[in-house]
A and B are shown apart, each in its own frame.
Chain A
């Protein structure tokens, strides 16, 4: 049972480049989300989805796009990377569309934007 899988684990981008962080879960979870973790800032919610075809913004959505075409996948797209997007990104899922609080996290993706 793989759980929540994120790829890539590390990525270096130049300012203005675009990329997609992949997130896949094999637990048939309805709820999926993306957080970023920055020193001294904790975890901040970027976007989330309560099911296929449904997405919504979190606390810090600017500069990021998401889509949820399947239950399993929830990719995060950076359209034009900026140094302020240097961070560690975590994908997390929960088994219920109605969030109960237990999130299952991926191992994280460390992104550096030069």
Chain B
């Protein structure tokens, strides 16, 4: 069974700093998808970024980028020039193609301090 581990329950950084959230996963599959979801306080969860395991290039969405290390089974999220609106719970997630389930990690609560 696949597992997703987020080792940082909570983090705080100053506004404008760069922060990296860690995620590791365990799978025997060669092809899969990885995601980062953001859950702002009292707001709906949204997809931040997605990575396909067969792509070597790291995904980027504006200030959000990932460091995907397939051999190490690591998938970290980097937020550059952090903003107050980045304060949220962030979930790392895994999905096997053809499966009907997305497996989420336990989340990292990120505080961006003014």
Contacts and interface: CB of A to CB of B under 8 A. Distances in A.
Contacts of B104: 35, 42-44
B95 A99 contact: yes
B44 interface: yes
Contact of A101 (B35, B44, B106): B35
A99 B102 contact: yes
A61 interface: no
A50 B99 CA distance: 11
Nearest to B92: A42
B101 interface: yes
Contact of A50 (B43, B44, B45, B100): B100
B91 A43 contact: yes
A46 to B, nearest CB: 11
Contact of A58 (B6, B101, B106): B101
Contact of A103 (B6, B43, B47, B106): B47
Contacts of B45: 90, 92, 103, 105
Contacts of A100: 33
Interface in A93-114: 98-103, 105-108
A90 B50 CA distance: 21
Given A105-B44, A105-B45, A107-B43, A56 B100 contact: yes
Contacts of A108: 44
A31 B104 CA distance: 17
A98 B97 CA distance: 8
A4 B45 CA distance: 11
A41 B101 contact: no
Contacts of A99: 95, 99-102
